[in-house]
Structure 1
């Protein structure tokens, strides 16, 4: 099953940009995912189990490295990757 996720990261610190950039850079290192970033959110597309494992691991790294972060997500069990 494929999954599409829209996620926004809100680090609870004054220096929030490094935390957001780090999270997005780590997501982009996973070749089996399609990651599209805009000014308001990041969209991630891939196989359900793999994508959820990646999100879990990368969110945990964000918490460990940068402290308190809020993640706001939308999930749909379909491949909504925009056509290129």
Structure 2
């Protein structure tokens, strides 16, 4: 099963930029398709592999910060090639 996952990491502390940058760099090292925009990062691929990878990277990020939020949206399909037709 393919999924599209959108993540937003929100550290609730000073010096937050480096934590966001490190998180995005780790996501980029994956074998999945990763798209970025100013508000979030999107990852596309097989459910089990994407979720295992993301779960581990969120755990690492949580270990590096005292207060942090992660917002996640998930769609059951790979929407990486989506183009609006309106």
TM-score (norm 2): 0.90
Q: Which runs of 4+ in 1 moved over 4 A?
A: none
1:8-41 per-position Cα deviation (integer Å, ceiling 9, x unaligned): 110011111111111110011112x111111011
Residue equivalent to 1:22 = 22
Listed as ranges, the gaps of 5+ residues in structure 2 are: none
Aligned residue pairs: how many?
A: 83
State how far apart, in whole Å, the 1-side matches of 2:25 and 2:60 are.
12
Secondary structure of the residue aligned to 1:26 is helix
Compare CA radii of gyration and give the structure with the larger one. 2
Task: Note the alpha carbon deviations across 1:45-80, whole angstroms, 9 max, x for none.
Answer: 011000000110000000112232100110011010
Gaps of 5+ in 1: none
Where 2:64 maps in the other structure, the secondary structure is helix
Equivalences for residues 1-84 of structure 1 within 5 A: 1-31=1-31, 33-82=32-81
